[in-house]
């Protein structure tokens, strides 16, 4: 018993709970909690908070203590009325404590003002990261779903072909059928086996991409639980909704960046405004002819005062910086207009693409159903001796082709719907309604 417990302890945690049964919503939820990009976005939010504290600290009291201990190898000498007098002592010390408090500094005040939009920008970037994860996980999920369905259809085809092969091969052995017919069916069966092997390989690749999009270890065993929900009839056109670029995360991020750029420009401009600060200073001076005398001969002093700084000339440095900032703001506003126009175009194209994908999906589904009916009829005729093996194999080939077209149109539809939600800025709603 102890050996068993030791073995369980040594096994990785994931090996004990080897299988993850996940729906699409659970896959997205996992990604929103575990993907590294989410952790990076959260770190950026924490960093913005500390940047705010840093900006505020610049306007709070600052205190420093400075000290010096000097050995004057040759003291300074002055001549007064023809007499030489030594100035100072061989040993001296100075200890000063100074407290500074800004009273008015427009640049620092604007830096504090930038705290709120900077924090909001970090949170908007987190929202955009969420949307990207929802999009990536959903797209990868649908790819796995379609390949899974493809494998199922191929295995159904294999079962039918094996049954046909067994009958035809038995007829050939009994002399009531042709061996060439059995050989032809065997070739088809081998082709189906190759297609299944290729599809299973693609399934593994697609599943690894899904796990990577979720931020999950590639070695984890994931089983999708709600595939039947998505493999269904798409008959009615879903509501498109309206598009408002102002409500999208992309617009809000650009708008907040422009706001920060404007504050930055004002801060540069504020560099021309005089600053006022208050200071208080307390110090100790020590002098002596020997090293020890310095510590016994201490004289204190204190000072309080106001300090004014009036910028006069900087070679037009601030003027150049300010004009660069204003140009950057103008450029950002023009880019905002361009992005709004492009986003409107992307939304319209995504709407048309989804509708076209839905129409194609319905058409391919009807074609697949008709191909199946045709195959069933030819199969009955073949069993009754009124249709040739070639007719049956051609019907099966048409059915298989129709199935593949249907699967491809299915993923095209889901990707188009996902692209529309992304263009519309409604990926969060898509996730919440799952």
What gap in Å lies between CA 154 and CA 160, rounded to an integer?
10
What gap in Å lies between CA 424 and CA 309, rounded to an integer?
52
13 vs 398, more confident = 398
139: its two tokens: 């797209």
Instruction: Read off the pLDDT of each residue in 414-432 and give the average, rounded to a whole number.
Output: 92
pLDDT digits (tens, 9 = 90+) for 171-205: 888 887 788 888 999 999 999 999 999 999 999 99
Q: How confident is the model at residue 10 (pLDDT cuts 50, 70, 90)?
A: very low
pLDDT at 17 over 80: no
If DSSP codes are grouped into helix, strand and coil, which group holds residue 243? coil
In this prediction, residue 87 carries a pLDDT of 74
Task: Specify burial of residue 389 (Cβ count, 10 A radius: 0-12, 13-18, 19+).
Answer: middle
118 in Cβ contact with 260 (< 8 Å)? yes
Percent of the chain with pLDDT over 70: 93
β-pairing, 91-104 with 76-80? unpaired
Which of 336, 326, 334 has the alpha carbon at shortest distance from 263? Answer: 326
pLDDT digits (tens, 9 = 90+) for 45-60: 999 999 999 999 999 9
From residue 368, alpha-carbon distances to 49, 157, 398 in Å are 58, 14, 9
What gap in Å lies between CA 160 and CA 260, rounded to an integer?
67
185: its two tokens: 């069916």
What gap in Å lies between CA 230 and CA 410, rounded to an integer?
9
What gap in Å lies between CA 359 and CA 49, rounded to an integer?
50
């Amino acid at each position: 018993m102890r050996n068993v417990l030791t073995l369980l302890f040594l096994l990785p945690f994931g090996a004990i709970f080897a299988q993850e049964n996940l729906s699409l919503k659970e896959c997205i939820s996992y990604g929103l909690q575990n993907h590294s990009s989410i952790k990076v976005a959260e770190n950026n939010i924490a960093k913005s908070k500390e940047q705010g504290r840093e900006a505020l600290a610049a306007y709070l009291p600052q205190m420093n203590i400075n000290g010096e201990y000097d050995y004057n190898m040759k003291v300074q000498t002055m001549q007064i009325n023809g007499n030489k007098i030594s100035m100072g002592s061989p040993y001296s010390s100075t200890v000063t404590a100074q407290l500074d408090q800004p009273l008015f500094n427009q640049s620092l005040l604007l830096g504090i003002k930038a705290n709120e939009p900077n924090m909001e920008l970090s949170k908007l970037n987190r929202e955009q990261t969420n949307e990207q994860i929802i999009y990536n996980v959903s797209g990868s999920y649908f790819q796995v779903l379609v390949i899974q369905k493809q494998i199922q259809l191929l295995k159904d085809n294999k079962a039918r072909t094996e049954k046909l092969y067994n009958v035809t091969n038995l007829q050939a052995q009994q002399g009531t059928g042709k061996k060439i017919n059995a050989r032809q069916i065997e070739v088809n069966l081998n082709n189906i086996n190759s297609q299944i092997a290729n599809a299973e390989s693609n399934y593994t690749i697609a599943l690894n991409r899904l796990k990577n999009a979720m931020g999950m270890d590639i070695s984890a065993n994931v089983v999708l639980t709600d595939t039947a929900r998505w493999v269904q009839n798409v008959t009615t056109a879903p509501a498109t909704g309206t598009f408002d670029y102002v409500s999208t995360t992309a617009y809000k991020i650009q708008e907040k960046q422009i706001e920060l750029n404007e504050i930055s420009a004002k801060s540069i401009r504020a560099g021309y405004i005089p600053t006022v600060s208050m200071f208080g200073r307390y110090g100790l001076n020590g002098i002596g002819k020997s090293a020890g005398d310095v510590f016994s001969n201490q004289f204190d002093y204190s000072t309080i005062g106001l300090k004014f700084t009036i910028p006069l000339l900087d070679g037009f440095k601030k003027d150049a910086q300010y004009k660069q900032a204003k140009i950057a703001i103008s450029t950002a506003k023009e880019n905002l207009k361009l992005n709004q126009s492009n986003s409107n175009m992307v939304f319209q194209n995504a709407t048309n693409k989804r509708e076209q994908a839905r129409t194609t999906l319905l058409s391919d589904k009807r074609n697949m159903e008709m191909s199946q009916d045709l195959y069933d009829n030819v199969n009955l005729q073949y069993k009754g001796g009124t249709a040739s093996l070639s007719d049956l194999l051609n019907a099966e080939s048409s059915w298989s082709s129709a199935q593949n077209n249907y699967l491809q149109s299915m993923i095209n539809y889901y990707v188009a719907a996902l692209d529309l939600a992304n263009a519309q800025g409604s990926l969060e709603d898509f996730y919440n309604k799952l």
